[in-house]
A and B are shown apart, each in its own frame.
Chain A
Amino acid sequence: MRKLFVALFLFLAFFAVHAENIDYKGVFEHANQLYINKDYAGAVKEYQKLIDNDIKSAEIYFNLANAYYRLRKTAEAIYYYEKAKRINPNDEDINFNLNVANLRVIDKFKTVPKFFLTEWYEDLINAFSSDSWALWAIISLWIAMVSIIAFLFVWSPVTKKSLFAMSILMLIVFVFSLVFTYERTKIENTHNDAIIFSSSVYVKSSPETKSTDLFILHIGTKVRVKDKIGEWYEIKLPNGSVGWVPINDLKII
């Protein structure tokens, strides 16, 4: 028994170690100060420094996007709002600012409203990050196990009944949390949305310069990337249109 606990401790200790090579908190606060002083270009530089160090944070992305917005760089602003939104999909500030920034985008699409159950389901999945869902799964599983073990050693029928119900409930929570962890991880790992960074780009019918122009997209428009062939991305728009765009005109979120 004791050996087991030692092993578990070592296990946790191994993962608890974070690589902390820069004083990100200091840089973050400095960048914020620059933003408050309206030195947006300076703030952008500082925030970018953090991102270059592979630090992922919704707050850094959000603040960087704000600075870009103030510099009237719409595509960059939307790009980083979308990146922040990937981490915190239900954050009100992120969504608000993204909507404001989207007003500067020229292309507008009528999106088909989703079925309300689908929307609820997606909201639920997006309510927590994959890590949080994973934690939910672990906690519920442990509670379920403790309840089952207690169930075995308790004689009183009333206690037994409630322990049984508890374990079943917790097992259900576990299964759902596990599914949501999976779903959320899938969302977090799929990078198939992109932002147009060129002021205007002709969407082609096939991945060739000489092919027919289908329509024009403008800076800041969010598209779904479906495929990649050579130097071309196949994209899909919210209204269902599909076409090919040179890689250089897009940036994947």
Chain B
Amino acid sequence: MKKFILICIFSFLAVSTISLSQVKFYAEVSDNTVQLGDRIQVSFVLENARGSKFTPPNFKGFSVLSGPNQSQSTQWINGKVSSSITYSYILSADMSGKFTIQPASITAEGKRLKTQAITVTVVKGSNKPKAKNQGEVNLNSQAEKVVHKNLFLKLFVNKSQAYEGEPIVATYKLYVHPQLQLLNLGQPTMPTFNGFWTQDLGIKKLQFRTESLNGVTYKVADLKKVVLLAQQSGNLEIEPMKIESVVRLQVQGQRRRSRSPFDDPFFNSFFNTNYRDFRFTITSGKSKIHIKPLPGAAPLTFAGAVGNFKLVTTIDKRKAKTGDAITLKVKISGNGNLKLIDALPLDLPPDIDMFDPKISENINVSASGMTGSKTFEYYLIPRNPGQYKIKPVVFTYFDLSERKYKTLTSEEFVLNIEQGSGNASTVVSGVNKKNVKYLGKDIRFIKTGLGSIETVNSRFAWSFLFFGLIILPFIIFFIIFIYAKRREEMKKDIMLMRNRKASSLAKKRLSAAKSYLDKNMEDNFYEEISKVLTGYVADKLSIPTASFTRDAAKLKLIEKNVDEQTIENLLNTIDYCDSVRYAPQQERLSMQEVYNKASMIITKLEGLLR
């Protein structure tokens, strides 16, 4: 009851004092002359009344940066109460020239009140000192200082150095002083994380908690949390994050700025409350991380897996028919950069077709990295019957705790493939050009006739018979050759004999001719002489007597280098003897003369024909 009465009295007092003061509505500007691009504050002040339906003018030639910002103040001076409501705008001068800020209007105590019009001159780049504007600049820089202390982003990285592929967690945290009025946060600009593979740990909702930093307690929220896997070695930079924020700050009343220096805005007296919104871009720091390359001499099978893993391979059947599908599962589980592991290559015989593996992941990404498993499901289709091996699957990773490469090997699978119903082996593949013409052809019919039959060891080539038949003609030839040779030699012997006997025979015949000469038997004599000469020459020259002719004898004699005259004498004598015997002669040589001539020729030839 007492309380109620007190309130009643108090309110009466207040109302009564307000009514005592004069109602005023006026406009003021921070500066009448501004430079192009500068800011200007325009305030519309209503004193000692409560207004409604405030209508601002349109600020032609200016653009509104902020406003209307409403502030209230109440003062008691010498027992006199005065209160004011201020609508302020911050404008920026966009154009040079003279501009008039038109009156604003408000309804107060049942009346429509209007402010006066104000003329503002905007000067182009004049060097007029902005003494009056200094306050505004101060205000902003002051605010920035305050905000900087009480609202900031920090980047935390859990490691300062790591191996390639080792998970690193980067966290961007927002720190807000509990007393700071944070109105709005824009969309953060996302860093690009060059050189890293990233996995965002997706923060759905900003959740503030209290945390103290350097003895000051802040409201803290994680803005972004990322698992980073370095893809290259060297010094990599984790880029800063930027975010737009709007902060409402209490500032001292505009009118008093010239009179009193700024106090800390947060600890302003209640009666001097004046709020303004500020827009700031806050930026986190950046961080450098030294990424160590994996030790050299990585096995050939190493494909970038880093962490700690297990390898399990399973096959659904080891016996199958051609064309049946066989499933081979390769499961890699553990923790590390699981998401970066590619399907392991299978070493399959060409008789087995393989489809691209089906990849399923069960990976849990957390601040400690990635854990879980990755399964590759291979479908194998055997094409040909037979026994085939699937070589062990080899998986190599870098073990971070032991700092060395480890290779895991699965077991070897042996598949027994039988011929399936689909006749796969008649599927002709890779037939070369030469054989294409046989495609789809059937074999030719059997041979009905039996050709040469060969029993083992009945070869003709290189047999005794074969060699015999080769040697035999040589033997025959040899025999015949020897026989012919001998006959030739015998013939030669006969000739030699004739040659040797020729002289004695000639002597015998000459003596026979001598006896005919003595007995004067002319016919016999000439016959004998002719025989002596022809016989002697024939024997000497190995000419058979039957085929003896004058010309043949002459040729042979020339061959034997017998002089022309002797030949002429010889032939003439023979001719003479023959002609005397058959024809009557007119001119006759005596028989003695012919005899002498013949014996002389023989003697001469005897010397020439040896």
Contacts and interface: CB of A to CB of B under 8 A. Distances in A.
B484 interface: yes
Interface string A87-128: 110000100110111111010101100000000000000000
B270 interface: no
Nearest to A138: B469
Contacts of B561: none
A134 B463 CA distance: 10
B442 A100 contact: yes
A218 B474 CA distance: 55
Contact of A133 (B432, B447, B461): B461
A2 to B, nearest CB: 14
Interface in B458-483: 458-466, 468-470, 472-474, 476-477, 480-481
B585 interface: no
B466 A138 contact: yes
Nearest to A213: B389
A138 B450 CA distance: 26
B430 A108 contact: yes
A54 B444 contact: no
Interface string A115-153: 000000000000000110111011001101100110011
Nearest to A70: B443
Contacts of A97: 443-444
B438 A131 contact: no
| Most chain A beta carbons < 10 A, residue from B389, B435, B443, B466 | B443
Contacts of B388: 200, 216
Contacts of A201: 386
Contacts of A164: none
Contacts of A135: 460
Given A57-B453, A130-B461, A149-B477, A103 B428 contact: yes
Contacts of A62: 446-447
Contact of B429 (A66, A108, A213): A108
B451 interface: yes
B348 to A, nearest CB: 11
Nearest to B481: A152
A19 B429 CA distance: 48
Contacts of A213: 389
Contacts of A144: 473
Interface string A184-223: 1100000000000011111000000000010010110000
Nearest to B386: A200
Contacts of B454: 55-57, 87
Interface residues of B, number: 55
Nearest to A69: B443
Given A15-B463, A25-B450, A104-B425, A137 B484 contact: no
Contact of A18 (B455, B461, B469, B484): B455
A199 B322 CA distance: 13
A131 B458 CA distance: 10
A66 B443 contact: yes
Contact of B451 (A8, A15, A57): A57
B384 interface: yes
Interface string B497-512: 0000000000000000
Contacts of B461: 130-131, 133-134, 181, 184-185
A134 B462 contact: yes
Contacts of B463: 15
A216 B465 contact: no
A26 B20 CA distance: 151
Contacts of A87: 454
Given A32-B446, A149-B477, A199-B386, A55 B432 contact: no
Contact of A103 (B431, B447, B462, B466): B431
Interface string A6-49: 00100110110011000011001000100100000000000000
Given A19-B455, A58-B451, A11 B464 contact: yes
| Most chain A beta carbons < 10 A, residue from B388, B428, B441, B466 | B466
B351 interface: yes
A185 B452 contact: no
Contacts of B464: 11, 15
Contacts of A142: 469, 473
Contact of B443 (A57, A101, A134): A101
A33 B184 CA distance: 103
A218 B455 contact: no
B484 A199 contact: no
Contact of A145 (B384, B460, B462, B477): B477
A96 B439 CA distance: 11
B426 interface: yes
A8 B464 CA distance: 11
B544 interface: no
B98 to A, nearest CB: 95
Contacts of A24: 450, 453
Given A108-B429, A133-B461, A59 B455 contact: no
Contact of A200 (B385, B428, B442, B451): B385
Contacts of A59: 447, 449-451
A112 B362 CA distance: 53
Interface in A172-190: 181, 184-185
B385 A99 contact: no
Contact of A56 (B445, B446, B455): B455
A134 B451 contact: no
Contacts of A35: 446
Nearest to B474: A145
B349 to A, nearest CB: 5
A88 B454 CA distance: 12
A45 B24 CA distance: 132
B453 A63 contact: no
A131 B454 CA distance: 11
Given A96-B444, A152-B481, A216-B349, A103 B439 contact: yes
Nearest to A111: B432
A23 B375 CA distance: 70
A11 B466 CA distance: 10
B438 A15 contact: no
Contacts of A66: 443, 445-446
A113 to B, nearest CB: 9
Given A56-B455, A62-B446, A106 B438 contact: no
12 contacts: A14-B465, A56-B455, A57-B450, A58-B451, A87-B454, A96-B438, A99-B435, A104-B426, A130-B459, A141-B469, A216-B351, A218-B386
Interface of A: 8, 11-12, 14-15, 18-19, 24-25, 28, 32, 35, 54-60, 62-63, 66-67, 69, 87-88, 93, 96-97, 99-104, 106, 108, 110-111, 130-131, 133-135, 137-138, 141-142, 144-145, 148-149, 152-153, 181, 184-185, 198-202, 213, 216, 218-219
Given A59-B451, A152-B481, 20 more contacts: A8-B472, A11-B464, A12-B465, A32-B448, A54-B455, A55-B453, A59-B450, A60-B450, A66-B445, A100-B443, A108-B430, A111-B432, A131-B459, A133-B461, A137-B470, A144-B473, A152-B480, A181-B462, A185-B461, A216-B388
A-B complex: 10 closest residue pairs judged by Cβ atoms: A200-B386, A145-B473, A134-B461, A63-B446, A130-B461, A131-B460, A199-B386, A108-B430, A56-B454, A97-B443
